[in-house]
Structure 1
Amino acid sequence: MFRLRATFRSLREVDSSVQKMFSAVTLLVLIQATTTSQLGIDIDIGGSLGNWENLQRCPPATKARGFIIKVEERLDILECTAVTAIKLLCAYPNSKKVVAEISSTEGKWGQWGSPLWCPDGELGAYTLKLEEKQILGGDTVVNNIKFLCTDKRVLTGNGGTGGKYVSWSVTCKTGICGIRARRREDGAALTDVKCECC
């Protein structure tokens, strides 16, 4: 009888250990998946000032296949050209019919450029051209943006010539489906951009 109770106790201990191990593995997988997703959408090298806007996502079954940017041109030597809004054009695969436009909130100034489309595939990665404002205490602003399509075509926005491009983001192999932007507190230029993988 004593041996039987000991056996049952051992089985319970083994079962409890298995459950703890399974929970730990599940948690590790979730953390890894979340971390991988975050690494895949964020360059994390833009300006540090301003507020992040809410994430905007394409409708289900659509992906970002093109984009368009709004640019405020340089007005004097103290200012720099700046991107004041970005729209991603959401469409179904192999289609250029826009189902939805998702964007950062629109800045007060600037003009919209022409839409740029991936010939095949979707937007898959991006890089920002950043320029330091010339006035004392100025912050870094987004001067232009490039997208790499999943078909390897590079699309360059109609931003300014000043500044330098930073390293490319990690490629979203399944395409880009979301965007959020950080905007200067005066509501003008963008200082950073994040894209979300599908």
Structure 2
Amino acid sequence: MLPLLLLLLAGPGGAWGGRDPNSVLEVENGGPWGDWGHKEFCPRGTYASAFTLKVQPHQGWSHFGDDTGLNGVRLICTDGSSVLSSEGKWGLWQSPRGCGGGTLVQFRLRAEPPRGPFRDDEAATDVSMLCSNGREVAGEGSTSGDWGNWSRPCAFGAVCGLQTRVELPGGPGQDDTGLNDLRLFCCN
């Protein structure tokens, strides 16, 4: 029964669209709000070599400004296709940031910890990634919050997919956060 259940959870094409990840890269400073979106993978035989971020600009210091910071992460695969898990509704997509011949193998997240009642929470605000060629590729997110520790690197292969944790809009007068956390998947 358990093997059949795992096959059904994996979806069409076997394990997550035909990909068999060998490890999951996670960080410890992601935000606590929202739900995890679908796992999305580059086509079989391709890996992530670049990424782009969806970022909401700072909304100002008035009590009407609700900053959400980072709202999306899209991986760009070596065949030119791209993959996206869930995304927040605010912000604009930034220009792609790439490895220049390498593939993504590690990441870290800039995030703001929960600030308590009556304060504006942002959660994740930026991402930086390391490439197989040693290059560090910084995102173009917000400067709010602090950088956390690097995830462990892919033990084998390179990044081939992602999953994001995003808080849905709460409506007028609510404190929204957008993207809270990120997981990357490694494939051989």
For the criterion TM > 0.5, the same-fold answer is yes
Highest RCO, 1 vs 2 (Cα 8 Å, sep ≥ 6): 2
Report whether the alignment pairs 1:64 with 2:53. Answer: no
User: Is this contact kept in 1: 2:68–2:122, CA < 8 A?
Assistant: no
- What is the CA-CA distance between 1:112 and the residue it aligns to? 1.0
Describe the SS at the equivalent of 1:176: strand
User: Given residue 87 of structure 1, which amino acid in structure 2 is its aligned partner?
Assistant: R
Q: In structure 2, do the counterparts of structure 1 residues 185 and 108 end up closer, same or farther at CA, with 3 Å as the change threshold? A: closer
> 1:83 is matched with which residue: 70, 76, 79?
70
Partner of 2:83: 102
Runs of 4+ in 1 over 6 A off after TM superposition: none
Alignment of 1:78-157 (within 5 A): 79-80=66-67, 82-92=69-79, 98=80, 100-132=81-113, 136=118, 139=121, 141-157=123-139
In 2 relative to 1, CA 49–130 (structure 1 residues): closer, same or farther, beyond 3 Å? Answer: same
Aligned residues: 155
Structure 2 residue identity aligned to 1:171: P
- Measured against aligned partners, the alpha-carbon deviations of 1:61-84 in whole angstroms (never above 9, x if no partner) come to 000000001100111226445111
Confirm whether residue 49 of structure 1 aligns to residue 33 of structure 2. Answer: yes
Tell whether 2:165 aligns with 1:182. yes
Q: Answer whether contact 2:87 2:178 (CA < 8 A) is retained.
A: no
Q: Map of 1:16-27 to 2, 5 A cutoff?
A: none
The 10-residue stretch of structure 1 (71-80 or 107-116) with the greater mean CA deviation from structure 2: 71-80
Question: 1:140, CA displacement in angstroms?
Answer: 5.2
Larger radius of gyration: 1
- Report the Cα distance in structure 2 between the residues aligned to 1:181 and 1:47, rounded to whole angstroms: 11
Match of 1:193 among 163, 178, 182: 182
Gaps of 5+ in 2: 1-21, 171-176
Gaps of 5+ in 1: 1-35, 93-97
The 8 Å contact of residues 52 and 94 in structure 2, kept in 1 or not, is answered as: yes
Specify the code of the residue in structure 1 equivalent to 2:75: L
Superposed displacement of residue 139, structure 1: 4.7
Query: Alignment partner of 2:23: what SS?
Result: helix
Larger CA deviation: 146-155 vs 134-143: 134-143
Q: Distance in 2 between matches of 1:162 and 1:71?
A: 12
Contact kept? 1:132, 1:138, Cα under 8 Å: no
**Distance in 2, Cα, partners of 1:110 & 1:43:** 23
The TM-score with structure 1 as length reference comes to: 0.71
- Contact 1:81–1:159, Cα closer than 8 Å, also in 2: no
